Amino acid sequence: MTAGGEAPGPPAGSAADHPAEYRLHGRDRELGVLASLVGRLGDAGGGALVSRGEPGIGKSALLATATARARDRGIRVLPAVGVQSEARLPFAGLHQLLRPVLPLAERLPVRQRTALLAAFGPALRTTGRRGAARIRPAR
């Protein structure tokens, strides 16, 4: 598991340092990485997390822990799941990730908003005056 590159060395303390709802047996190092990553959110920080491995080794449990930590701090979590059947659909993951917050695209600068809406294509309709689109899912 890496967070913005290589994972840091030892975790932030032992299992006893993690609240009970965040404990996973034998995962102190990974929990330390997650705690550090989530701790930087909202402070103009953040990072990336790659979780990979064989099925059943606890990747989903680790991500659920990170999600719980973030939500406990009042951070909105936008989940997405990779689905093989959608692999050939352009921007399928982006749609899944951003659909719940798409109305917030109105706050983006015009250039970024235009690019984002182009990725969503005809699935949306925009109404409103020039430069101030109201974004709604097409029905």
β 124-127/134-137 pair status: antiparallel
Cβ atoms of 1 and 33 closer than 8 Å:
yes
Q: Which two tokens stand for residue 31?
A: 């929990």
Which pLDDT does position 112 carry in this prediction?
92
Which pLDDT does position 128 carry in this prediction?
47
Side-chain half-sphere CA neighbours of 61 within 13 A: 14
Question: What are the tens digits of pLDDT across the range 83-97?
Answer: 888 888 888 888 888
> What does residue 47 show for φ and ψ, rounded to 5 degrees?
165, -170
> Does position 109 have pLDDT exceeding 90, yes or no?
yes
Which pLDDT does position 20 carry in this prediction?
54
Nearest to 121 by CA among 97, 76, 90, 96: 90
* Least reliable range by pLDDT among 15-19, 41-45, 82-86: 15-19
Residue 122's pLDDT band (cuts 50, 70, 90) = low
Cβ atoms of 36 and 13 closer than 8 Å:
no
Which pLDDT does position 17 carry in this prediction?
52
Q: Tell me the C-alpha distance between 38 and 69, whole Å.
A: 7
* Least reliable range by pLDDT among 17-31, 60-74, 75-89: 17-31
Q: Tell me the C-alpha distance between 7 and 65, whole Å.
A: 17
The model's pTM is 0.62
> Does position 80 have pLDDT exceeding 90, yes or no?
no
Cβ atoms of 84 and 93 closer than 8 Å:
no
| Range list of β-strands (E), the chain | 2-3, 49-50, 124-127, 134-137
Cβ atoms of 101 and 67 closer than 8 Å:
no
